[in-house]
A and B are shown apart, each in its own frame.
Chain A
């Protein structure tokens, strides 16, 4: 019953969105405001239908209605309630409905907040919004319908259950957070196009689109970091970033959006760079759709990808229309977007932002090129060329380092023009700090790595530059005797700017984590209980391997003593496990082995242990140990980035 309602609601959404097109057409022809209003209500009603069908699917998942193919495929009676909820986005059909659901949430809040103020954008916003909606509604109705019943000749006694790898808190929450970022970028896309088409770029518009961008950026960043956190703690290859096509697809829009947040500041302050900003704002959503096309069409294989249905051509068409539409209006409105004002000097804040933009876009392009290269080269001459992590690392490390320095230089530059004497004066502190830390590296490290050397200088330069800025504003604010009070007052005095600086400190901390990767070491070995092995200043002694049948898996439990060989003291007792899910299944193909990691984590380094396999006949365990320095700084930096951007985002809403 409920599933029928859901199914009807999603078809009804299709009817409603068509009516929105009709009334938009009528409005265009007769210019009668009533038609526009009807179109608006159609879009709202479409959104409500999507909400309804979303909650119907949620209900079916919770009550385990295995008459639905989707519910039977991704949940079982044993699936915990929390993961029954997260099964909403575990598969193709559910995740597409979930995508529509978030789009609908954004649409409703966009109509009720932004469009209440920027009335001139209504018509074109509705046109684009209706187009985006209709695409996803068509998918949910005809290509991947989550309310599809199982075939009529079978009865499902129990569902398949959610993949145990996905039954992890961070796995469960990172896709929806990313989706909020992905779909939110549609609003930025719509705003940029609608304002340019209706030639109504105002100061309020700039402020509004910036607010949306910050909001979307926060979610994109949080989603990317959480995805890395999950990969590191659950997947068991010891890293948090592998330049997988899916990861790249989330990073590309993040880069263009980051660029937009910076360059739109120039538009806010000086009304410049309208064309450039138009391109950045629109390309963010286009890259989101490109990424979705890459990952869902199966054109590039990836660990993350869903099995391909006939989504590829659909997404490709959608993508092509978005691109052509954007290009068409870009050229049509080129003269409107032209700004007479030019940048006076490159040693100015604007100049700094421009460099930052170029570097970010270069990085985005490099990543896109590497991600698409296998397809491009195969199309070109039939040779399949793989682009590995080495491509992305080798090319992005230098670009990233330039970015790191720019974050330190930016705050030292003034708007319009910075005179040489002021510049020299401001450079004193960061320059001397970074000089000293560079010397420190040369003296204290026993091997020289150029990137590490440059990164250490960059980190100390940028950190001291930002902290110096904080100190300056602190001194200006300082009037009460209470230190904490003054700090808070200083931070609150300009939340926008200070929020940005907090984000930058977070990124600098990320770089500290990245430096750690240069010192990672790993070893694979086999041990029988009682044996030990020496590696990287530690002795690893395998005490025992026990086995245990648990609720939904069979586990081999190892126990490894880690002894610090310099002090000869027991550091930690690691207990990585080898698990076999569905071990009762008579078909060995259906059993699923999984290595449950154990990590000894400190602020300096992680000792990461993987129990890779167990040979029961010979009683030999296979292990992999990795020593990963400074990984925790990545998470700390990530948290700080999110805090900083929330800090910048909240007050601006209250001010308006």
Chain B
């Protein structure tokens, strides 16, 4: 085998390896995270290292710590199921009762310790015209 063929071969093996690796990223939770629904999670008794969950903030469940304004706990609900979430950090602008949120973090003992908290904002600029008069 001459040098060119050997190099080509090495390159192909490397690429094949890389592609094989990419098809298996699902198992590597440092790269990916699975999305759970609240009802799915409510049935889940095992701990999960990394999750992402979407739902709505249960009214009157937001509890901000007196000692540290950045410490908060609340429940996220979907239909009749709900899960408790704790979070440390600044809350997004639209964080309030019934706001739609996406929470990422870990799940243990029926509690989500969130590392990331996002509110979904309703797009204000698409859709209805505001200053109109009916005729």
Task: Name A residues whose Cβ lies closer than 8 Å to a Cβ of B.
Answer: 69, 72-74, 91, 150, 153-160, 162-163, 306-307, 342-346, 358, 362, 365-366, 369, 373, 377, 383-388, 390-391, 394-395, 524-526, 589-590, 592-593, 612-613, 615, 618, 620, 622-624
Contacts and interface: CB of A to CB of B under 8 A. Distances in A.
Contacts of A74: 125
9 contacts: A73-B125, A358-B15, A366-B18, A384-B35, A524-B90, A589-B124, A612-B90, A620-B69, A623-B90
A105 B26 CA distance: 45
A345 B3 contact: yes
B27 to A, nearest CB: 10
Interface in B3-26: 3-4, 7, 11, 15, 18-19, 22, 25-26
A72 B30 CA distance: 46
A153 B31 contact: no
Contacts of B7: 346
Interface string B92-135: 01100000000000000000000000000011111101111111
Contacts of B132: 150, 154-157
A387 B70 contact: no
Contact of A153 (B19, B35, B123, B135): B135
Contacts of B127: 307
B26 A377 contact: yes
Contacts of B125: 73-74, 160, 162-163
Given A346-B4, A385-B35, A526 B70 contact: yes
A390 B31 contact: yes
Contacts of B26: 377, 385
B62 interface: no
Contacts of B123: 307
B63 interface: no
B43 interface: no
Interface in B30-46: 30-35
B69 A154 contact: no
B32 A344 contact: no
Contacts of B4: 342-346
Interface of B: 3-4, 7, 11, 15, 18-19, 22, 25-26, 30-35, 52, 68-70, 89-91, 93-94, 122-127, 129-135
Contacts of A394: 30-31
A387 B91 CA distance: 23
Contacts of A618: 69
B17 to A, nearest CB: 11
A344 B129 CA distance: 66
Contacts of A624: 90
Contacts of B52: 386
A394 B68 CA distance: 34
Contacts of A91: 126
B116 to A, nearest CB: 9
Given A73-B129, A346-B3, A386 B89 contact: no
B11 A385 contact: no
Given A73-B125, A150-B129, A155-B132, A358 B33 contact: no
B134 A153 contact: yes
B122 A155 contact: no
A63 to B, nearest CB: 17
A333 to B, nearest CB: 24
B11 A386 contact: no
A160 B35 contact: no
Given A346-B7, A377-B26, A387-B32, A622 B69 contact: yes
B133 A385 contact: no
B34 A383 contact: yes
